[in-house]
Structure formats: structure tokens, C-alpha cells
Structure 1
């Protein structure tokens, strides 16, 4: 693959099998103009065109992965260093593992850190070209009882004044994770009216407490930091299985067992999408790291504090895809949909992202037969090649 050929950004990727989001079509070519797919054609048709070409060498072309919950990777963490260089490292690491779009995720922090993150995003004009679809604010408006790795001293309730501030910054905020038992419907409406997706997470709520609220269209890391499904109290897990909002799930074999992931997929189908919830060590061989001010460790792939509390994940999206295929038992196509189409649908951007079709953004991951990433195209540009 020769990236020199793409300087005018009108070129063609040839010799690929293409997963368009529904099915795999063999011997295809993808024509890219600027940051958009202008058409997908057969190799027979491609032979008659005189465009600059990149040979895909028989790889599977799939839509670039979309990670809705990414705290850090490549040795950096957004909470530890709120800067454009952190985002650049996260994007560079993502591209090596097939992720072309993500939501930088700020977990529970001080008001100053939240303000600084919003300011940084408001000033970042190239965000979309660098793979950023907006922020995911995971906290601080969560439940102390289900705080997980979040720092208790910064957890607070979301009042209307703060919600109005977040609504004013809705151009920078895509998702906010909240505990529904600690939020009024008026405050919830303020967020949803601003087109911010409100996700249920880090919650100690009962089924009824969630069911009395409207506008909750997503759930954060299913099973983790929420009340479990019980026979007499369905809990938040029961609410999700029953009402079927979109839900993210971490498929590392640590946050949820593989049979539990399979059960969730049977219940939620296209509403279940893959996330990493990755932190500093993802994409590296680090064994210790700073988790937003607390020392954390990696043992046998598990990120944890000294007391054993899970502190994020060390996987990449392609790791999750492989686990879905090899351990959960999903088809290659369904695993790829969970990494691309379903997150796009959850964010309501599946008219431009999550599929390889005409007029969609040119975000393309090339995979070999072992599902290893051989190249990544981000917004029309060759951004990584093995």
C-alpha cells in the first residue's frame, strides 16, 4: 500500500473483499474522493478506470471501528493529561487497531477538569478529521455505591444550572453517563433537548427508578457498575434487557464472562455494541499506570487498583472483535457490526458512519484472514499501514 499515491485524495482501493455492513462482497474496489466514498464497484469495472490505486491484496475491507467509551490508550489517559497531544496519541494508537472514530471519555473529575476539557474541545477545529465524534462524560453525576474506579470525592448531583451549561456545550458532548436515581426529569430533558445522548451507568437504581424516567437511550458498560438482574428485583440489567436501549459492553473476558456477553447479545441483538473502556496500558506493555491520580496495575490483562477494584480495560477494539468471534461465538460479520454499525446507530450517525457505501465517510479498516489490521483509512486518508 503506497500512501504517496493519495496526495490529491481521489483514488481507488482495489482487490478487497468488502463487508458493507450487511454482507461480504468479493473482489470489490472502493473509490474515495476527499473524505467520502464516492462509489463501490466490482474489480471488473475497476479495471477500466485510470485512477491512482492502492492494492488491498485480498484483505477484508470493513467500516472503521467506533469506540464510544475510550478513556485512554497508548500510554496516555485523558483524565491525567487534558491536552491535544493526549488525543493525538489516542488516535494514533486507535488506528493501529482498526478504530477510526472514538469518543474521548472523561471520567469523574473536578469541575475545573470538566471545564478545561470542554474548552479544549470547543477550540479543536480538526476534531472530526482526527476521528473524534465528541466527548463522553462518564460521571461525575453517578452513584457513590456503584462508583467502581471513580473517585468518590468528586461525585455530585447534576443540577439544572450545570445541565444548562452542558447543553450550551452540546456541540462537544455526544454522551453523558448518569445514575438515573440522582437526576430529575427536568434536568434529563435539558440534556436530551440539546441532543446529548444520556446513558445509564454507575447506578444503584431499581428497575422502577429507571422506568419512571424518559430519555435514557443508552447504557454504559452493561453488567458493570449497575444493579444485577434478580427474580423479584429486575434491577438495571433487567431494565436494559426489557426496554432495550442501546448498550455498550466490554468484551475482554474480565468485565463480563463470555457466556454473559452471549446472553446479552441474544437479548439485545443490534442494540448491543462493543466498547473498550480502555485506559493507559491499552496498546502497550505497561504493567503499572496512573489512573487519574491513583496508582493502578495490569495483571494478566486486568487493570486494577491495589485492592483489586477493576480500573478500566487494556484491550483494543480488534481484540474485542476477535473475542466476539472466538469466545462468544458470533459470526465475523456480526462481530464487525458490533464494532462499527451498531455504535453508529447508537449515536444516530449511521447515515454517514458505520458502513462502507456510497456517500459514507471513508473510514476503512483492512483485515487479513486472522483478523489482524493491515491498514486503516481515516476520513479518506491512509492513516496506518502495517
Structure 2
């Protein structure tokens, strides 16, 4: 089979930066890593491709506003050029008709998908008290029959769902878990006891830590404390200093370590439908001024972790790749540079600027 190699590069082996390496690619996978046949100092840093499990749009397309195969293809191609080699297309609370259209498009797109892994449904089974920018009229409690019908119609494209567990019946949550949907606690007014019970039941993670949830209070500990104290619960976080202050990211990473991962929660300009996002400075807001989404890329989130949050580069890279890969049970294939792993690789210069994207062993043109 044809193969290629990245020579005279550096990469992180666990937390150790190893220099003067040659990464050999055979087909779509990494086949070997060894010393380069040169003593020249490494110029390039090679890292795993980014995995973003919550993004609404890119390339000027908001998926829920344009639920088509064409829009999803534009989104994934734009993300791929920016280094996101795996992602879940996210949908906010909306009408059943919009949800169905997005699911139909995702099922059709699956035949040609490159880096899109499926859908993350953020809603509609949320708590209206913590709705944030979500449309309250469409928020509701789930019924087991509705969830069964939704997953049947989804035919495997629904990979993740954000819910407010304090408002859902245990049988609904258990059905989602039994059908291999990653369940995330979010847009929730749960107490620490309710959140802990959800994690104990099997809810794996938490959507955009600190945003749209009960806060930490010294007499009412809230959801973040439940996450910090749990032995397994993970959480995503938006590192843009708008959704969460950098100082809060700093202590959260020290507490959660491998249980904290990066998302962008990124949107794009949109002037149609219920989610009309307008860029104000470096953040997106709704027409009424409500913070709605970020303008982050995964690379900028990594840089923010390193530059502002006292997080090492090796840890920040794991937060953007290995840890989300573990959540989606793909850490034996993605999120790491090792023999047998998929050759989803990014080449950075010494200033952490993106120079090349390699996806399944193929260089992606800018």
C-alpha cells in the first residue's frame, strides 16, 4: 500500500516532547514512529486532529437554519481545514420539523461524510429556568415513546444528547444510555444531589461547564461541585473568556484533569430562524443581547489554555483530542499519535500556527 512520512518533527508521547522523529503513514493509519535520519533540530510539531463534540456551524452555514446535505458538507470541509478532524454537528432546541430535517440530512450525508461523526441534540429536553439562548416555547419534558421514536428515526446518527435530568424520568435516561447515546447534563437546574444521582445512573458528561446550570454556592453547591466530586463524570468547557473566565478554567482543569475537555460551541452569523446570531466583538449574541455561542476554533481554545489558564500544551492537546475521543469510545483509534491510530494529524510551527492538516493519511488543501 502507498505510504508517506513526516520527517524531522516533534510530537508528545504522553507528556514528553520527543524530537527528531519520523511518523510513517500507511494508507489511513500511522504505521510506525521512529528516529529521523537527521540530526537537524525539529521544526514542526505534529499533534492529533481536534475532536469537537459541540459545534453549530462553520463556513457561513448554521446547520439548524439550513438543514441540508450541502450545508453540512460545507461545515465539515471548513472545519477540516481548521484542524477539526472529527466533530458532532449540534442542534439547539427547535421545532420537531427542524429536528427531523436535520436528522434526514445527517442520514443522507452519512454516505459521504468525512469528519462529521453524527449529531449532538442540545435540547429540547431541558429546564426552561436555565434555557440560556434556547427557545422556551419548544422546551419540554421527554416521554419514553417520543425518545424511542426519535432514536428509531435517527437510525444511529444521534450520538449525543444534552438533557436536564431533574425533569426526565429515569426510564428515559436509561433508554438513551442503553441505546449507546452519550447523555450530557446541561441547561439544568439540578441540585448537587440530583446531578450526582444522574451521574451515578450513567450520565457520562456535562455540557459547557458553568454555563446554563446551577452555580457553585457555599450553601448550595450546584452542578459544578457534583462534577468535581464525582469519580467518573466528565465536562466540556468553552475557553473563550466570555463563557467562562480563564481563572475558572484554570482551577477546573486542576480538579478535573482528564475529565475536562474542550468544545467550541461555535456558531456563525445567521439572520433567519429562531437562532439569529450576531457577532459582537469576539462573541455571538442573540438580537436581545443574550450570549449565544462562541467564535472559537479548537486551535484558539488550545492556545487560550496554554497562554491564559496555566495548562501545559500536552494537557491542552489531550483536552482537544484524547479526552473527547475517550468519551465517544474512539480512543483506540483517534486522539493520539501512535502506531495503529488513524492518521488524523496537524502540523504546527513553533508559534502553534496551523501549517498542514492530514486526514486519514491525506493532506488537506487550504
Question: TM (normalized to structure 2)?
Answer: 0.93
Contact kept in structure 2, 1:19 and 1:63, CA below 8 Å: no
Contact kept in structure 1, 2:236 and 2:263, CA below 8 Å: yes
Contact kept in structure 2, 1:166 and 1:191, CA below 8 Å: no
Q: Does 1:338 align with 2:325?
A: no
Secondary structure of the 1:66 match is: strand
Aligned-pair CA distance for 1:120: 2.2
Q: Does 1:86 align with 2:71?
A: yes
Q: Does 1:348 align with 2:341?
A: no
**Greater Cα shift, 168-177 or 70-79:** 168-177
Q: 1:39 to 1:170 in 2, by over 3 A?
A: farther
Q: Does 1:290 align with 2:274?
A: no
Q: Find the counterpart in structure 2 of residue 42 from structure 1.
A: 35
Between the aligned partners of 1:240 and 1:291, the Cα distance in structure 2 is 36
Q: Find the counterpart in structure 2 of residue 255 from structure 1.
A: 243
Match among 20, 43, 67 for residue 27 of structure 1: 20
Between the aligned partners of 1:73 and 1:201, the Cα distance in structure 2 is 23
Match among 138, 143, 146 for residue 154 of structure 1: 138
Q: Find the counterpart in structure 2 of residue 111 from structure 1.
A: 96
Match among 57, 66, 75 for residue 72 of structure 1: 57
Q: How does 1:178-193 map to 2 (within 5 A)?
A: 178-193=163-178
Q: 1:93 to 1:26 in 2, by over 3 A?
A: same
Between the aligned partners of 1:38 and 1:59, the Cα distance in structure 2 is 19
Between the aligned partners of 1:87 and 1:19, the Cα distance in structure 2 is 32
Aligned-pair CA distance for 1:82: 0.8
Secondary structure of the 2:195 match is: helix
Secondary structure of the 1:80 match is: coil
Question: TM (normalized to structure 1)?
Answer: 0.89
Structure 1, unmatched stretches of 5+, are 1-7, 48-56, 282-288
Contact kept in structure 1, 2:23 and 2:30, CA below 8 Å: yes
The one-character-per-residue Cα deviations of 1:1-29 (angstroms, maximum 9, x if unpaired) are xxxxxxx7522222211224543211112
Aligned-pair CA distance for 1:337: 0.9
Q: How does 1:142-221 map to 2 (within 5 A)?
A: 142-168=126-152, 169=154, 171-213=156-198, 214-221=201-208
Between the aligned partners of 1:103 and 1:291, the Cα distance in structure 2 is 22
Match among 257, 265, 280 for residue 277 of structure 1: 265
Q: Does 1:361 align with 2:342?
A: yes
Q: How does 1:125-140 map to 2 (within 5 A)?
A: 125-126=110-111, 130-140=114-124
Structure 2, unmatched stretches of 5+, are none
Q: Find the counterpart in structure 2 of residue 284 from structure 1.
A: none
Contact kept in structure 1, 2:69 and 2:108, CA below 8 Å: no
The one-character-per-residue Cα deviations of 1:45-91 (angstroms, maximum 9, x if unpaired) are x99xxxxxxxxx82100000000101112211111101122222222
Secondary structure of the 2:116 match is: coil
Q: Find the counterpart in structure 2 of residue 96 from structure 1.
A: 81
The one-character-per-residue Cα deviations of 1:125-174 (angstroms, maximum 9, x if unpaired) are 4455x111221111111011111111111112111012212443362122
Between the aligned partners of 2:275 and 2:170, the Cα distance in structure 1 is 34
**Greater Cα shift, 23-32 or 221-230:** 23-32
The one-character-per-residue Cα deviations of 1:262-282 (angstroms, maximum 9, x if unpaired) are 11111101100010000015x
CA RMSD of aligned residues (A): 2.0
Between the aligned partners of 2:3 and 2:74, the Cα distance in structure 1 is 27
Contact kept in structure 1, 2:72 and 2:109, CA below 8 Å: no
Contact kept in structure 2, 1:20 and 1:63, CA below 8 Å: no
Secondary structure of the 2:276 match is: strand
